[in-house]
Each structure stands twice: as structure tokens, then as C-alpha cells.
Amino acid sequence: MASFSIGIESVSPSAPSFTTLRVAEPELTTANSLSASTTALPTPSYRLPGDLRPEHYTLEMKTFLDGENSRFEGRVLIKVNCEKDTSRVVLHSTDLLLNTDKVRVGDKEITGHEFDTQNEFYIIKLKEALKSGSKYVIEIPFEGNLTTSLKGYYRSSYQDKATGDKKWVATTQFEAIDARRAFPCFDEPAMKAVFQVNMIRRKGFTSISNMPLAKSVQLEDDWFRDEYVESVRMSTYLVAFVVSDFAHLESNPGNTTFRVWARQDAIEQARYSLEIGPKILDFFEEYFNVPYPLPKMDMIALPDFSAGAMENWGLVTYRETAMLYEEGVSDLNAKERVTSVVAHELAHQWFGNLVTMKWWDDIWLNEGFASYVQGLGTDHLIVLIIGYLVLRMLNYFLGEETFRRGVGRYLKTHKYGNAVQDALWASFEEQSRDDSARDSSRKEAPRDATVKEIMDSWTLQTGYPVIHVMRNYEAGTAELTQSRFVTDWLGRSSDDRESLWWVPISYTDPSNALLDMSTKPRFWMNTSNATLAGLPKKDQWLLLNVNATALYRINYDAENWDLLATALRTEKNHGGIPTLNRVQIIDDAFSLAKAGLLEYNLALNLLRYLRLEKEYFPWRAAFKNLEYLSRMTQRGGGFGPFRKFVRTLLTPVYNALDEPFKPSVAVDTIPQMKLRAKVLDWSCSYGVSDCEEKAVALFKTWQKQSEDPDVVNPIPVELRGLVYCKAVESGGEPAWDFVWKRFLGSNVAAEKSKLLSALGCAREMWLLHRFLDMSLNETSGIRKQDVTRVFDLVATSSRGFYIAKEFLFSRIKDIHSYVSPDFSQVGDYIEGVSRLMSTKNDLEQIKQFVELNSEYLNDAKYAVKQAKENVELNVQWHSRYYPTVIQWFSSFASKESSTSPDGRPHGTMGSIALVLVLFTASFACGQEIVSAASEPLSTSTAASVESDLSTANSLAASTTASPVAASNATSYRLPENLRPEHYTLEIKTFLEEDNFRFEGRTLIRVICAEDTSKVVLHSRGLNLTTDDVNVTDNATGHNLQIAGHEIDAENSFYIIHLSEELKSGHKYIIDIPYTGALTTNLAGFYRSSYKDKATGTTKWMGVTQFEPVDARRAFPCFDEPAMKAVFQVNMIRRKGFTSISNMPLAKSVQLEDDWFRDEYVESVRMSTYLVAFVVSDFAYLESTPGNTTFRVWARPDAIAQASYSLDIAPKVLDFFEDYFNVPYPLPKMDMIAVPDFSSGAMENWGLVTYRETAMLHEEGVSPASSKESVTRVVAHELAHQWFGNLVTMKWWDDIWLNEGFATYVAALGTSHAQPTWNSLEDQMTESLLTVFSVDSLQSSHSVSNNIKNANEIWQLFDAISYSKGAIILRMMNHFLGEGTFRRGVNRYLKAHQFNNAAQDALWACLEEQAQLDSAKDPENKSAAPGRATVKEIMDSWTLQTGYPVIHVMRNYEAGTAELTQNRFVTDWLGRSSDESLWWVPISYTDPKNALLDISTKPRFWMSTSNATLTDLPKEDQWLLLNVNATALYRINYDLKNWELLSTALRTEKNHGGIPGLNRAQLIDDALDLARAGLLEYSSALNLLRYLRQEREYLPWRAAFSNLAYFTRMTRRGAGFGPFRNFMRTLLTPIYEELDEPLRARTADDTLPQTKHRSQILSWSCTMGVSDCEARATALFKTWQEQSEDPDVVNPIPVDLRGVVYCAAVKSGGQPTWDFVWKRFLGSNVGAEKGKLLSALGCAKEMWLLHRYLDMSLNETTGIRKQDALSVFYSVARSSSGFYVAREFLFTRIKDIHAFFKPKFNRIGRFVGAICESMNTEYDLNQIKSFIDLNAEYLRDSKLQVKQALENVQLNAQWHSQHHKTVTEWLSSHANEQYFA
């Protein structure tokens, strides 16, 4: 049997694992010796007992070919010879139904039947024993099914081209142990017998078998019996028969009749085999000197065949690609392949068939020999079997003649029998002796060992040797040592050190090389050491193993390696080093480097000579090794330099191709042709010159031609593989579909195979998903025989790897059952996916996978073991060599210029040339060994995590550190016995390289409310100078005695223990001097920096960020919001810097040297978290339009960008003074744009800090949307000056009051400042959509939330606080009415100003106001019927989690509707019994009212679970609740009302009068109700179709946020195709309506219009609508290619830059990426930088994404820490980036955690971003185990993580419940253009 891996074709081996001889084994520790030693053991139980031996079989098979019901009936008569008395007949039978009633054993009485399924035995028990020496006939009738298992007697099929009918074929595949699946037999190779076969078949079919037909008899009806001549004596595994309607060709050139069989449509393609078959057979007859023993030879090409071919005696079966060849369609590779496979199978007719191994442990004799002689027969050897190399070595040392005669001797001695390897050695030994005796001139090299001794050292030991050569250049000698070569040199076992081989040593040097190329060994080395003498002088190289005829590696000393490298590179003709040795040098150097025996630099250096190499074979060896490097680098940033290096190597040889894509001409040799194909393949993949462009253009000529592409194909056949691949890669779905159609249409197997390969090149992830799905379904058109191949194709590409891994891991069960019964194929999957695995995480994953799925891996144990080892080796490689190798590539690529040497590939290579290539191909394949001692990867990150704790509160000497465990729930809160009144804070700031720190002193005046001897306050990360701490009585000046200091790190407490008590009513001054570090952690007092454009220097600043709990990082304080006090701040700063703080500067005093003290006015009473100070060299702009002085601060380079804020802020402040009716309490307002800032902005009183993008705006560079966000953020922060600063929540659990209020009134403020923006509607829609989505999780939380510890505070700064807070305040505004609401708020602010309040205080004020207003004006609408108190209503919204859905069931007759309310949760089925009820303000309208009255006032309050509406419109009119979506509830209507609404939306003018906000809600409700299972998806999607008529911004926006969910759910599978098509139909009308899609905004465009255009374009480009992407990339190119400086002139309209950049980066590869990256570094505008940064995540090349994520954790790259999360989002949101991002998070969580210290809660967002897209059970398990394993890093993100996890659960639920329905619906509606 031939199991090949040739060229691009890789055929899976199908032999059972115990006979599998993988070529790569020898380097692995798991490898076995060639000849396994099972024979030495007692007969194992799985072997037949041996008491009966078969002599003769008569086998009759009746074949029923009826599609799925195909089956056979058979009867076998076996004449056996009894060699030992026995009362049991034991033979093999599997999966056959035996008719035991009719079983006969001679005339013996049968007492029972037994089946031993384990050993596949059928046992017949007899009453009396069979007698030794007697013969018996065993008769067994049986039947079986013809399955598609590709084993035993199975069925195959093909489609008849003419009729389109499916035709069926029955055929056999028995090796090694599947004859027993076709008929009961003694199924061991040594149980040889004679076979007489009768095939009963229907008319219209032909049968064939091993022997010629004797006669054919017609039976009843259409049935015939074909009787065959008796066979020679043979093994069961060589029996074969086929029933088919195939055609055949015949020829009789000599004694043997040759016939070739194939499908009728393909029979012409068999002509080549018919031509070469007889020639090859002739050659072998002569070579072996034994005639072919049968009168005929049939060869048949089968459509489904698991191996490459099978050597059944006289009837060889082939996979189509291995036998069929069509001139002009198949390429020369295919011709070569056919030739070598035919030769291999014909060689087996002697080696294997005539003489068979005794048992499978000597299978190598069959395979090795067949491979070896096949080479002789074809001139081109292609084998992957080590036995071949060993035999070849034998040939070399015995000499050709002796070898040949020895073989003949062996065959004659053992013909029709079986033999073990010793018999072969004996034949050679005898022959050698005879020949030497006869001919004294015979030149066999001197050897003092027998053939057996020598060969045993090669066949019984595992592996092969490496010879270490250490030259003594003075003495002209060299010491040789030998040991076993293993890649895992350190981890090799001691056995390996002791293995010794008989190594034939030959060598040469520069002077001999040109004269004497003798490959004869100069001596035999069988010891561990030897010495060579008489070697050349110092400057001349030494080369061992001339022409690489023997199987060993050589490791020279470094000097000799250098000499070789120089010879290769500089001298003519490579210094005379033969081609085969160049091959060996390349492969040795890399293998030795991998094993740690040679410096990688040296190996890489050697490779540089390739720029001069013109021959195929050295290139091939190089490609093989480069491929390994490519696998090891492509999942990281290292791929860039590597690719550059490869390009440099390839460019000269590429350029030397006169016309790269021309068809080959007759004079081209196969190696020339192959070199061209290979060089082009690599050149195109590595971006050399115009290679890819040319390939794609060539493909297009095919696609666009007018001829039928299935008939006419202009692409040269030998280049098709690579052209197809490149076209599919860049062509997306259309190219894929085109190739797929050709695949289905092609009739030529070799062509089909190329097309199939190309399909794996797709770049779009979903296409790969779909491809893999299709591979497990034969109806798709992919044959089962190709299943592992498809997987392999996908798994070995950098992006397919992730998909393949996921596919294998999540679908192992399906795969297992699909490949049944050849379960060993599961091993091929594992092997395929292991190749790119190189991280510890990969290793863990594969181990875990193997552990969890052992039941499916039983038949693949060996492959699994090897795969694990390979991954371990890759991991080892990565940690040991990756940095060196990448560094080398980087420096090489920057040095080497690409000079192009002339000359073209030349020279043919004889058969021998291939040997080493095989050698190299066989032994590397990326397979290596495990090191026990692998201890890689830096531990620095661990250290840096720890350091947070160790430096957290380092105290001076006198500390008594004893952390106190938190014992009760409130222990993290400060005791209330001391209250601060006044702080004097002095801070000296050092902003110098290597000296970023501050010195501080805090004096706190506290009032004692209760006697205590402890002062407990907050301090974190500060070095307190405890020796100088004082506690003084304010009145008396008495210094209290301090007993000790304590740090409670858990709660960030600093505790001063006093010897005397502080007395209630007294005031004390606490004086604490301290120092702190100015780090870049974005918390407390930290440092930020920017680069000065003019000088290029880095400028530093110090800035604060305290909310919520980081004031304690800047100064010791009572850091709780209710601990308000007055602050007097003094900032000591150097000359050249300015300081600012909350209050105006009082005075500035010069101190010594350059130092100044800036003293600030005392503040109003305020919370610690609002204190702020900044030291910087920033510039500012100032204006004082009213009572308040405004200043805006920014880097000097960016100060002009601050003028918009300066313009808008006073207007907004005015609005709020007016709205709240409370003046702004401070005399000034500073706003500063900080280059590094963790959130958007911070409302510090009087000194608001901003991220640059949130405050700076440059007209013409920043887009309109950025102007909007600046306005919003400014308004938000200014609103906080009242809500939050003036009145502060008592504790953080009411943070929503701050944030919700600021969010709500910011929208009012923005509307006021920019009336055309429609900001209120816009922002409320945004908030509503967010809340609808987030708050529908079971794991959501209530608005007002109990906090259990300080870590949880962070987590409340989420959508619930901001958005839900805002929404319910707006709802309140609507039900109370604007006037009452405003007056109530004013009442609240006045009552609690400079103080703290809880939410109840606000409700009370509003209730009082409402009652006052009602009393004053009875008409006041705030008293909607049935209203409860404000507190009752609002408690239902703030204290309960979630929001309601109102179910509406109309009674159309009665004009009524029943309403019910429940909490809406997406997980409707799994919802807990939630009996929450809300006070829901119900408003509603209908078609008639809609146009007149769209009052949002509630018509009544629903607080119960049921209610009834009456007086509703008639049957054909819709009902709509929640007018203008002012309240927070979803509505689920009855089906009819949904349809009425859908129709209204779609057909009527102006959408039937349904307001825009309601259209948005209807979309969102419908889709989310469907998701929760409360509405049919078909109804929801049906509603969505109206979008073709929708032109407004908000409804589209609602749609997009839902459609983004569909994108995430479908893009990891075949569903994305239909979804995308559906999106195209929705988007096309509106896209086409855009007059000029990419035009700039005009003065007439409103902000919503501008945003709308941008979102439509963004989706259109992503979904491939019309020419969107082409236009975008063209526009980008004008920027790239203009003559102006791109940092100055940018022709892309500002509002569309995000869309355009992303589209360009997506399609542009590294050059575009680098261009955008440069612009990012160069840009001075935050908004622009943000766009560029986000676009960089659009890249499609995986390594760019890997590199990008790596860069994000390293601030020196230019990416600020504040932006790391945006980078992650930008990567995670794309379909290919998702995989990269997930891996990044999973493997680098520790680094991420350390990087964000101390803002650990950021990590929750990383998890959230990934979980969004996870949607399978497998994902769920993965994320769960990730969370379990990394709990320590996720501690501060528990809530987010919980929500993220619930999202994955929901997604998985969705996927299993809805994915299919939705995809089907989408498929059926994808192409509709118009709606009825």
C-alpha cells in the first residue's frame, strides 16, 4: 500500500496504528525501530492459534448495488489443514452477519458459536476435535452491508456527466486487517492460501478480481456469475474484487495482459498508466530476475479510496489522482506522482506479494523495498519511508550488482512464502560472499561486520546518528564521535547516548571535491569515537557523507561551518560542494540548531547563500526549514522581519524568471518546473515583487473569459495550484464559489485536488468555517477520503489554525463518527492542528483536549502522543530560540540589499539527487522531542504583580505591620469617631527622568465625635515618614503620645495607635509627612507625558485622578465621599512649570533655587475624591464671559484645539445655573486635556480633567461626531459641579444619582448649546438601547446597589449607573412634568448643598414639589391617574434589578387589550421566579391619534401584574405603547398587532405615522423578544425588512446595534453568508441614494445626517455593498500617493475617516498598516489618533494583529496605557481578530493584569469584549475554565465577568435554538429586491 505525501497532495495513511511507519519518527523519542520485536514474544492473544492453516478458499460474493441499501451476500469454503488437534475453529470476521445455522465444519457437530469482538474472532465450537494431519472444509454463509467506510468491501460512487445520475461501485481495501470485513478468513499475512473467487453481479456491471476470468454464467433474471481462475498462493490482505460499470483500456505488450479501469468519463486519463505500467513491469522482471507470476494486471482508479493505492496481486487499486493523468490539465507533478505510485505498487508484486513479511512488524520490508525499487523503475524517487534510505545505503556499500543479485536470491528462496528481515540479510551476505569469491576485483568497501550486523544496527535501533566532527587544523586531523540524533538534545534518554550504528564514512575537501566524488565509505565507524587523519589545511573545508548517500547528520566545529558557509556563498559553483551536500548542509544546520547543537545565527547565516542558489533541491530543503520558521513566527510580530528575510532570499531567483507565469516548455525539466512553481508559490505568499498581482490577474482572465471555464482554462497547469490559492485568498466569496463550482465540475482528479486545496486559502473566516462544516457532509461534494485533507488545508494557515482548532475541539464527536470505522484518522486531525501550536497555552489546551476526549482517541494514541511531543518541542523552541531568530531576521533585513545575480535555474538532476531531499523531507517535518528541562518564559511579570503589594504601604522603621482581616461587612468603612474639617496639603513635585516622585505633608484638622485611641484614615502606596507623624490637640497644642503605627493593606487603612485617648468634642491636628512615586498608573497623583513637536523631547507632567478611592494614593486622608472638608492646597514646583488646583491661586512664593510655592485659596466644603492638582508646562486660553473665569489647558502644540471647549463651556455653565437655579459656587473653572487619562473626564470641582479626545477639537481634522462628544462630555462634567460636587451621594451605592443625573442633564445642556443636534433624543435612544440590553441579564444589578467591599465601587461605574440612571430620571421628568421636575431638583440642591444626601432625599424633594404644584394648579398633569408617591414609583425602578416587558393581548372585537407585566430577561426559559412589579407609566396611541396627539404623558399607572385598556381602535388598526419611548419597558404585542405594525412601517407613507423613537424601539423590542423566545424570529425579521424604506438615523441605529449581534453570532460559521446577503438587500437602497457616498459634510448637513451617512457607509463597506469598499480604498490611496506631506494634507472627509481607514487597512496588508501607524504617531489631534488607532485593528493578517496587541502592552511603542483597551476592542471585534484577541487574553492575562495595575477592574472589559462573540457550548466551557484558572486576576471585575459569562450562556442558547431558523430565513430572503 502506498501512503504518500507528495507535493501539494497529502494523502492520509490508513494503516492501523501498530503498523504505521511514519517517516518522522526517528527524531522523536516515541519513535520505534524499523523492525518491531513482537515476534520475540509468546503468541499474543490477538493472534490466531495456528492449529489450523488454510490451503484453499472458494469465495462467492453476490453484490447488490442499491445506493444507501447496498449490500452483499457471500459464502466461503475454506479448506484447512489441521496441524494440531483442536475442537475450536478460530478465524476472523468483523461486521458481517453470519448465517450460523448453515455453518459447516466438515461433518463435525457444532456445539456453539462465539464472537470475540475485541480480537475480531469468530469461534466455532465443535463437539469432537479436528485431528492433526487431516483436512477439513469450513463453510460459512454470510452477508454484509456495503458502507462508505473505505474499508473491507465498501461502496464508492460518482456522478455520470452525461445523465447526472449517481453511479455506484463496490470495491475492496483489505490491508492490513480488513479482509475479515468482506469474508470470514484466517486474516494474517502468513496464512497464505489459494483463492478461487466467484462474483455474482447484475447485468450492466462488470466484475474483476486478482485472477483472469475463467467463465461467466447467466443465472436467473439479470444476474451473472463470473468465475475466476484459481490464484497463486497469497495472503488474505492481497485479495481484491471490484464490481462496477467502469470502462477499460487494454494492451498486451508482452506476456502480461494489462488493463486499466476508470469511470467512463475518465477512461482516457488512464492511458498514461497503461503506457508506463508494462514498461515498469518489464524493468522489475529484469531487475529481480524473477518473472511476474500472474498472467494479467488490472489497475483501477476509484473515486473514493482511503490510501494512495493498494498493491492487490493482479488488481491494483488507486485513488484517482494516483493513476489518472490528463495531458494539459494535470501537471507534470501529477504525471510524476502517477509514475511513482504505479512503480511502487508494481514493485510490491514481488516484494510483499510474492514474498510477504511473516508478520506486520516487518512491514518496512515491503514498503521500504517497494519504495526503493520504485525509484529505480521511474527515475524519480518519492518515498517517505526510512527503510528506503537504509536499503539505499546497503546498495551503496554492497555495490549495485551484488545488491541486485541478493534481492533475486531472496525472492527465489521465499517465493509464495513469508520471510523475516534476517532472511534478506542472509541472502545479501551469501551473495556478497559468492560475488567476492567469483570476482576478486569486486570493490566492496572494507567492512569487518556482516550485512546482518550492519543492518541490525539500523533496523533494530530507533533513530539514526549524528557525527560530530572536531578538526585539529594544525595537525590535519579530526575527531569524530557518534551518538543518536534527537532534536531534544537535552532531554534525550541515556539509551540514546549508548546507541551506536555501523556508519559508512566518506568525506572530501575543496581539492578532492572536483576530482573525486566517491561515495564509497573510506571506513566503517561503529564505535563512539574515531579519528580522521591527512585532512586539508587550515583554510579548507571538510565535508562528510559525500553526496549524502548514508543516513547520518554531521555537526562540524564552528570554524568548518564558517568555511562551508563561505564556500557556498562566495565561490563559483558553491566551491564545488555537490548539490546533494548543499541540501544536507541546509537541513543539518537547521536541525542541529533546533536541537541546540549549533547557534541559530550560524544556521541562518548559512542560508543567505540561497540568493545564489539555482537548483531545486537545495531550495526545497530550505523551504522545508523556512516553513518551520514560518509556522513558529506567524502567530506573532516576528513574522514581519521573517517575511522580509524570505523576500530578500527569493527576490533574485524570482527576478531571474523571465516570465514568471508562462507555461512550461518542452525543454523544462521536472526540477526546473518544480523550482519555478515552488519559487512562485513562496514569492506570492511572501509578497515578492508583483507575484501575487500577476497570479490574481491570470485567474481573472479565466473567470472573465467568454468560454466555459470548465472547458477552457488559460492558467498553465503546473502553476494552477498557486494561482487558485492566491485568487481565493484575495477574492472572497465570489472567487471561492467560482473555484468550488470548478471543483464540482472537474472530471480530472489532479485538477480537483488543486481546486480543493485552493479552497483552504480563503481569508474570510466564515468561508473556512463553512468549508470545514462541508467536509463532514458527503452530500456537499467533498468525498470522505478527503476529509482530513480539508482539515489540514485549513489548519496550517495562520488564520485557519484557530478555526481548525475550534472545529476539532468542539466537534470531535462528529468527526469521530464520520470517519468510522477508520478512527485512526482522528489522529491526522490532531497532527494537523498541532503544527502551529507553540505556546504553553496551546500545550495545556491539547493536553486537556486529549484527556477529555480519550474515548474518541483510542485508535489515534500514537498520533496523539507525537502531536503532544511536537507541541512541547515547539513551545521549547519558542522560548529558547524565538528572540534570537527574530533579532537575526530584523538585523539581516535591514542590512542586506537585494542585488540580483544573473543566471537562471539550470541542470537536471538524476534520481540520486532526490534522495537527500527525501531525507530532509522525511526527517524534519517539524517533528521533534520533549525536553524535561524546559524552563522558559520570563518571570518578570510575576514579580511586577507582586510588587504592588510589597510597595503598597511601605512604612518607615518604626512600623508594626500587622494586616487586620476584615471581620465584618463594614470593616472597610472608616470609623465615624473622627471627622475631618480642614486639610492643609503641601506637595512638592519632582518631574525629572529617574526622579519621578513627590514629597508631601498633610495636616488634617479633625473633630472627635467619640473618644478613641486610634486614628484610622486611608493611605495607599505612600511612604509615610511615621517618625515625624504628630497628633496635636488643636486647642492646647499638646502632642499626643503615639504608641505605634499599623497598616491594613486590605482596606488601605493607616492606623495611628495613641497612648492616650482623643476626646469627644475636641479638635486635633494630624500631621503626616510622606513621599510617593509618580508612576504611570493613571491613579492618584501620577505622571503623564507628551512629545514636544518642535524639539522632539519628552515633556512630563503630574496630574491627579482620585475618583472613587485614589485620593489616598496622593495624600493620607479620610477618603470617603461623606467626609467632606475644606482644603487648602500648596503646590511646590520648579520654575518652568505651572500648577493648578481646584481653587484660584492666592499667591506664589519663590523658594530656594528654582523652586516656587503656589498657595491656593481655601476651598468650599468638598469630598476628597474631587480634590485635584496638576503640575505641567501646558499652555492655556482664558475667557471670563460672566462671573466665572474659564481657562482651558493643553499641551502647547494642541492649545488651539481647546478653543471650542472654551467657547462652549461658559454657555453650558450658564444653562445649568439657570436650569438648577443655583449659581456655580466657585469663582473659576479650569479644564485640562491630559495626554494619559484612564476614563473620559473627571469633574474635580473647579478643575475638570479630560482625556484629550474628550476636550480637544480641531475643525477640519476632528469629525463632527468628535465635536458632539466633546460637547457632551463638557456638559456632563459641568453638570456634576452641582450634582455630585455641590450635593454628593452619601456613599457610593448611590453613585447612579451623580452619573445618571449628569448624563441626563448633559443631554439637555448639549441641546441648549447645539440646538440642531437633536441630542436629547439621540442620547436617550443610545441609553435606552444600552439599558435594554445590559439590564436584561440575570446578572445585572439594581441602580442603587449595596456595596460589600471597596473593590466593588469601581464596578458601579457602568451602564446601569449612567444610562439607566439617565433614563429613569427622564421618565420622571415626563410624568412629573418639566416645571415640577426642575423646581424639585432645585429644592433638593438647596437643601443639601455642600453636604451629602441619599436618593430618598431627592424623592422627598420632588414629592413635596409635586404636591405643592398640584395644590397650586389642579390642572397640573403631574398627577396622572393612580400615581403613587415619587418614592414608591422610583424605588420600584432603582431598588429592583431589571425592567419590565408589557405583554399586550388585544381583543379586536371588544376594542380592549389585556396588559400583563413581568421582568424582561433574555434568558426567558431560565429566568428565576422573579415577581418584581414596577410602577409603569402607560402611554399609547393608534393610527388616528398618531398624527394628532403624540402625548408622552402616561394615561395611567400600571403597578399590578394585569391591567385592561379599553376604547381601542378597530380591527385593522395598530396599537402602539410607550409613545416616543419615554419610559423604560419593552412591549410584546399579539401577533396580529405586530403584523399591523410591520405593515404600517413598510407600506404606508411616513411609516404610518409611527414616530422615529418608536420605530427604534419596535426594532429593538422585536429582535430581543425573538431572542428571548417570546416572538417568532420570522416576525421580527419580517419587521426588519421595512428598513429598505427607512431613511432616518435613530431607527437605523437601533437596527445596527441589533444587527451587530447577528454579525457576532453568524460570522464564525456558514451563516454569515446569508446574513451578509440580507444586509446587502437592506443597505443597497439607502447606499445608492447617497448622492456621492464619500463626499465631505456640507453646511446643510445636520449632525444626525452626518452620523447617519457614516454609519451607513461603515456597514455598507463591511458588508460589501456595491462599490463602497473600492471607493474607500481608492480615496485612501489618493492620500497615500499624494505629493503633499500626509500628516499635513489629508483629502479624506473628516467624518468618514474611520470608515475609510478601516477599509484600507483591511485590504492593504503591512504597507498600509505601517502608513497608518506612522500617521498615528505623527498626529497631534486626539480624535484623529483615535480613528487611526481603531483602524489598525482592522488588519486581516493575523501576525499584524498579534503584533498590535503585543504593542498595546508596551507604552514605549507609542500606544498610551489609556488606549490599550481600545486596541483590544478594535482587534476583538473583527472575525479574524477575535481569535487573536481571545488567545491574547487567555495567554497574557497575567501581563495585562500587571500592566493595568492598579486599575484592575479594566480586565473585566477585556473579558466582556471576547465573550460578546462566544456562542457555543465549547466556548462556554472554555471561558468558564479560563475564569476559574484566573480568578486572582479577575477579582476586581467580578460583576463584569459574571455578566460576560451570562452573555456567553445566552449566546450559546441562541446558537442552539435560533441559529438554524435565522440562517434559513435569511437565506430565503437574502436576494429579494422588492417587497410586496
Check whether 1392 is labelled as a binding-site residue: no
Q: How far is the CB of 1280 from Zn ion (least distance, A)?
A: 5
Q: How far is the CB of 1207 from Zn ion (least distance, A)?
A: 22
Interaction of residue 1192 with Zn ion, rule CB under 5 A: no
Q: Please, which residue, 3 or 1438, has the CB nearer to Zn ion?
A: 1438
Beta-strand relationship, 1098-1105 and 1173-1176: antiparallel
Q: What is the 3-state secondary structure (H, E, C) of 708-743?
A: CCCCCCCCCHHHHHHHHHHHHHHHHHHHHHHHHHHH
Q: How far is the CB of 1835 from Zn ion (least distance, A)?
A: 25
Q: Are 1286 and 1170 in contact (CB under 8 A)?
A: no
Mutual orientation of helices 386-398 and 913-923 as an angle, nearest 10°? 140
Distance CA 772, CA 762 (A): 12
Q: Please, which residue, 764 or 1299, has the CB nearer to Zn ion?
A: 1299
Check whether 1276 is labelled as a binding-site residue: yes
Q: How far is the CB of 1358 from Zn ion (least distance, A)?
A: 12
Residue 1515 burial (CB count, 10 A): 10
Query: What are 1086's three cell numbers?
Result: 501620577
Q: How far is the CB of 1088 from Zn ion (least distance, A)?
A: 21
Q: Please, which residue, 756 or 1233, has the CB nearer to Zn ion?
A: 1233
Interaction of residue 1569 with Zn ion, rule CB under 5 A: no
Interaction of residue 1170 with Zn ion, rule CB under 5 A: no
182, 916, 1302, 1583: which one binds Zn ion (CB under 5 A): 1302
Task: Kindly provide the b/e burial profile for residues 705-720, where b requires at least 16 CB atoms within 10 angstroms of the residue's own CB.
Answer: eeeebeeebebbbbbb
Q: How far is the CB of 1279 from Zn ion (least distance, A)?
A: 8
Binding mask 1683-1712 for Zn ion (x = CB under 5 A): ------------------------------
Distance of CA 76 to the CA centre of its chain: 54
Q: Of 615, 928, 1046, 1277, which residue is the catalytic one?
A: 1277
Q: Please, which residue, 345 or 1299, has the CB nearer to Zn ion?
A: 1299
Structure letter (DSSP) for residue 1434: H
Q: Are 53 and 95 in contact (CB under 8 A)?
A: no
Q: Please, which residue, 586 or 1297, has the CB nearer to Zn ion?
A: 1297
Distance CA 856, CA 860 (A): 8
Distance CA 1132, CA 1138 (A): 10
Q: Which stretch binds Zn ion (CB under 5 A): 901-909, 1294-1302, 1636-1644, 1793-1801?
A: 1294-1302
Q: How far is the CB of 1686 from Zn ion (least distance, A)?
A: 37
Q: How far is the CB of 1343 from Zn ion (least distance, A)?
A: 15
List the beta bridge partners of residue 505: 523
Q: Which stretch binds Zn ion (CB under 5 A): 620-628, 1260-1268, 1299-1307, 1623-1631?
A: 1299-1307
Q: Please, which residue, 1357 or 1720, has the CB nearer to Zn ion?
A: 1357
Q: Please, which residue, 227 or 1299, has the CB nearer to Zn ion?
A: 1299
Give CA separation, 514 vs 38, 141, 509, 518, 911, in Å. Answer: 48, 70, 9, 11, 21
Mutual orientation of helices 670-685 and 691-704 as an angle, nearest 10°? 100
| Coil vs helix vs strand at 1475 | coil
Strand order across the 1241-1242 sheet: 1179-1183, 1189-1194, 1228-1234, 1247-1251, 1241-1242
Q: Please, which residue, 1015 or 1302, has the CB nearer to Zn ion?
A: 1302
Q: How far is the CB of 1188 from Zn ion (least distance, A)?
A: 20
Q: Which stretch binds Zn ion (CB under 5 A): 70-78, 469-477, 684-692, 1298-1306?
A: 1298-1306
Distance CA 704, CA 713 (A): 11
Q: Please, which residue, 1002 or 1399, has the CB nearer to Zn ion?
A: 1399
Please list the alpha-helical segments (H only) found in 1062-1147: none
Q: Please, which residue, 419 or 1289, has the CB nearer to Zn ion?
A: 1289
Q: Please, which residue, 623 or 1250, has the CB nearer to Zn ion?
A: 1250
Distance CA 677, CA 654 (A): 11
CB-nearest residue to Zn ion? 1302
List the beta bridge partners of residue 1182: 1191
Q: How far is the CB of 1391 from Zn ion (least distance, A)?
A: 22
434 contact partners, CB below 8 Å, separation of at least 6 = none
Residue 935 burial (CB count, 10 A): 9
Segment (H or E) for 1822: helix 1817-1829
Distance of CA 41 to the CA centre of its chain: 47
Backbone angles phi, psi at 1150, to 5 degrees: -80, 130
For this structure, is 1277 an active site residue? yes
Query: What are 1353's three cell numbers?
Result: 465601587
Q: Which stretch binds Zn ion (CB under 5 A): 369-377, 790-798, 1300-1308, 1312-1320?
A: 1300-1308
Q: How far is the CB of 1407 from Zn ion (least distance, A)?
A: 26
Residues binding Zn ion: number (CB under 5 A) = 2
DSSP string over 472-501: ETTTTEEEEEEEE--S-TTT--HHHHH---
Check whether 1057 is labelled as a binding-site residue: no
Structure letter (DSSP) for residue 1363: I
Q: Which stretch binds Zn ion (CB under 5 A): 596-604, 1301-1309, 1366-1374, 1846-1854?
A: 1301-1309
Q: Which stretch binds Zn ion (CB under 5 A): 1302-1310, 1403-1411, 1464-1472, 1673-1681?
A: 1302-1310
Q: How far is the CB of 1337 from Zn ion (least distance, A)?
A: 23
Distance CA 1837, CA 1831 (A): 10
Q: Please, which residue, 920 or 1281, has the CB nearer to Zn ion?
A: 1281
| Coil vs helix vs strand at 128 | strand
Q: Are 1736 and 1716 in contact (CB under 8 A)?
A: yes
Segment (H or E) for 208: strand 206-209
Interaction of residue 480 with Zn ion, rule CB under 5 A: no
Helix, strand, coil share of the chain (percent; to 5)? 45, 20, 35
Q: Which of residues 624-643 bind Zn ion (CB under 5 A)?
A: none
* Angle of CA points 1107, 1112, 1115, to nearest 5°: 120
Q: Which residue's C-alpha cell is 401577533?
A: 1535
What residues are designated binding site for Zn(2+)? 1276, 1280, 1299
What residues are designated binding site? 1276, 1280, 1299
Which residues are known to be catalytic? Answer: 1277
Binding residues vs Zn ion (CB under 5 A): 1299, 1302
